[in-house]
Structure 1
Amino acid sequence: MALDNIRLEVMQLLEKKVDSFIDRFLIPVDKIWQPTDFLPDSQNEDTFFDEVKELRELAKELPYDFWVVLVGDTITEEALPTYESWLMDVEGINQQEGGNAWSRWTRYWSGEENRHGDVLNKYLYLSGRVNMIEVERTTQYLINDGFDIGTDRDPYKNFVYTSFQELATYISHNRVAKLAKEYSNKSLSKMCKIIAGDEMRHHNAYSEFVSSIFEVDPSQMMIAFSDMMKKKIIMPAHLLRESGQAVGSAFEDFSWSAQRIGVYTSQDYIDIMQRLIDRWDIDKIMDLTDEAERARDYLMKLPARMQRISERLVIPNDIFEFKWVQPAIAK
């Protein structure tokens, strides 16, 4: 039987559980928070301008690297059309003739994710601390340039990727929330904290998908997990660029900013890898093929190997000057 056919059969088998996953891990539209819950009320003329003024005053206290990271996180969230279109093409996710349960999950997940870029974008606009036209251009470039995360249409690899990436975005937004709180910006902190909560729910969902696949196709799931770790998880904004620059040219400097302020580091990458290994009980899975056993052996040794490499990493102190956030504006 062809590999793709096996995966398709597994996806069809698990499709029976997808509606229960939606009920467990997603929140109905009328009950979930919306961006306007965390922003000045533009319909209230008595309070709106005072609330905006307070927002702008608090924004002045935030340092340069913080703004770079917040802008980069916002742009990453705003590139949602790329992620949705990619997932809709995964084997077993059918959006034709009304779609199936998997496509319903993808649409509902996208609906929740869409609110993140929406609220952060409005905050940036109201803050007056960033060059919005450059932010908007970078966002459009990122959507235009697309991405290739090395998963092809393989659901196993895609669910490993989303399990990893949702946890990474949880860490990033949660750390930004803590930093904002340290600068007494409680409203921004609360906004980022609730976004982080969404990301953790989504991480739990995609991790559950992988756990379910391990139950029915353990060897191929193990090999898929190993393959993704060998390639390394590519961040969704890896092609980030500013206007007039080459594709991907801004990502490294954005990453250094995140590392300098401890929002997302190489240690976090290793910790997420170990957390997935533990969550999926990689050391306990039985009845593996010889190839899958070798894949398991690779996975179990990888965190320690990555740790040794990470310890040699030197983070540059020189701050790159982005068009999004010029130092004179951020001060």
Structure 2
Amino acid sequence: MARQLTQLELLRELESTAEANVNRHLKVARDWNPHDYIPWDEGEDYAALGGTDYDPEQSQLNEVAKAAMITNLLTEDNLPSYHRVIADNFSMDSAWGHWVGRWTAEENRHGIVMRDYLVVTRGVDPVALEEARMIHMTNGYDPLLVAQDHAAELEEHDIDEVGLLHSVAYVTFQELATRVSHRNTGKACNDPIADKMLQRIAADENLHMIFYRNICGAGMDLSPDQTLRAVTDIVTNFQMPGAGMPNFRRHGVLMAKHGIYDLRQHLDEVVMPVLRKWDIFNRTDFGPEGEKTREELATFLEQLDKDATRFEEMRDRALAREAAKAAKQAS
């Protein structure tokens, strides 16, 4: 059985890859200003300054767009938690530390611009939004707790700690999932300003995903069995970073039902493209443990595909019933 690399060994061996990808990112990333995406002339004072407070009739967003915007914004709000996890696992030294700072600064724009848009346009109740932010950020979120919950399983696979590889595996899939969610939310808003804003955010998320995907890919070349174990732990226990926020389940159901982010998109647009990029199912460098892990991953993906198909069938029937009911009421 191949020896599992320690966290410090992984950081040292992958540092040149991190440096190359930081430099690549700085060359292709485009700076932008949140204030350029806000229709400021639509804004007016709230009651505290002599204006009027929010009324649901003021929002131009439908219920699906509201749910998606709130979920995506609260997800972005938990940036301090994500920064802590990344900093703890990457360190703040050399290229690793430069990336942590740059990524955090870029991600912070997303929450700024989305909140400004919603408050200025009165897209959602700002008081309820703030209350939900306080709850969600107070709770915090650590994506690696999912893997840590399976400590016995990790010990069985001779993994001493959940760290760098689990971290980069998680954010690879999470950044791509967030890109898909933001992009589809922009379309659901039925507002060209919101659509342009969320396209800009989605472009950032895609570049971030590429950085993490390349780091994890280099880890796969360096220590194939160990990295595949981390990837499989994440894929088979994946949760979006919004899990645990107020109304997450209700909003998630609405988003899945109306094509913002569902199980089929998760499999076909997030998980499988990344696994193909790493050539998971054609590689020949896995040892016995890696082969066993690959079989486990394949079995999970087969079931996920069946679950996605079942969900699509149920959703289509539900939407057809709703359409028939609406047509009957209209007639």
Q: Is residue 265 of structure 2 the alignment partner of residue 259 of structure 1?
A: no
Distance 1:144 1:25 in 2: 32
- 1:172 CA displacement: 0.6
Q: Is residue 298 of structure 2 the alignment partner of residue 292 of structure 1?
A: no
Give CA-to-partner distance per residue, 1:140-174, whole Å, 9 cap, x none: 21111122322454111111100100000010111
Q: Which segments of 5 or more consecutive residues in structure 1 lack a partner in the other structure?
A: 41-47, 242-249, 319-331
Distance 1:147 1:312 in 2: 30
Amino acid at match of 1:302: F
- 1:222 CA displacement: 1.2
Instruction: Provide the alpha-carbon RMSD of the alignment.
Output: 2.6
Residue of structure 2 in register with 1:235 after alignment: 240
Distance 2:60 2:119 in 1: 16
C-alpha spacing 1:317/1:72, structure 2 compared with 1 (3 Å): farther
- 1:62 CA displacement: 2.5
Q: Are the counterparts in 2 of residues 26 and 109 from structure 1 also a CA contact under 8 Å? A: no
Distance 2:179 2:123 in 1: 24
Task: Calculate the TM-score normalised by the size of structure 1.
Answer: 0.80
- Determine which structure has the larger helix proportion and give its number: 2
Q: Which segments of 5 or more consecutive residues in structure 2 lack a partner in the other structure?
A: 45-54, 149-161, 320-331
- 1:260 CA displacement: 2.1
Q: Is residue 113 of structure 2 the alignment partner of residue 119 of structure 1?
A: yes
- 1:2 CA displacement: 11
Residue of structure 2 in register with 1:23 after alignment: 23
| SS class of match (1:233) | coil
Task: Calculate the TM-score normalised by the size of structure 2.
Answer: 0.80
Q: Is residue 177 of structure 2 the alignment partner of residue 168 of structure 1?
A: yes
Distance 1:238 1:106 in 2: 23
Residue of structure 1 in register with 2:158 after alignment: none
Q: Are the counterparts in 2 of residues 26 and 201 from structure 1 also a CA contact under 8 Å? A: no
- 1:193 CA displacement: 0.5
Of all paired residues, the percent bearing the same amino acid is 26
Residue of structure 1 in register with 2:83 after alignment: 84
Aligned partner of 1:190 among 193, 196, 204: 196
Map 1:1-331; keep pairs closer than 5 Å: 6-26=6-26, 32-40=31-39, 48-49=40-41, 51-52=42-43, 60-90=59-89, 93-95=90-92, 99-149=93-143, 150-151=146-147, 153-180=162-189, 183=190, 185-230=191-236, 232-241=237-246, 250-271=247-268, 272-313=270-311, 314=314
Q: Are the counterparts in 2 of residues 69 and 254 from structure 1 also a CA contact under 8 Å? A: yes
Give CA-to-partner distance per residue, 1:95-124, whole Å, 9 cap, x none: 3xxx33212211110110000010000011
Distance 2:254 2:3 in 1: 41
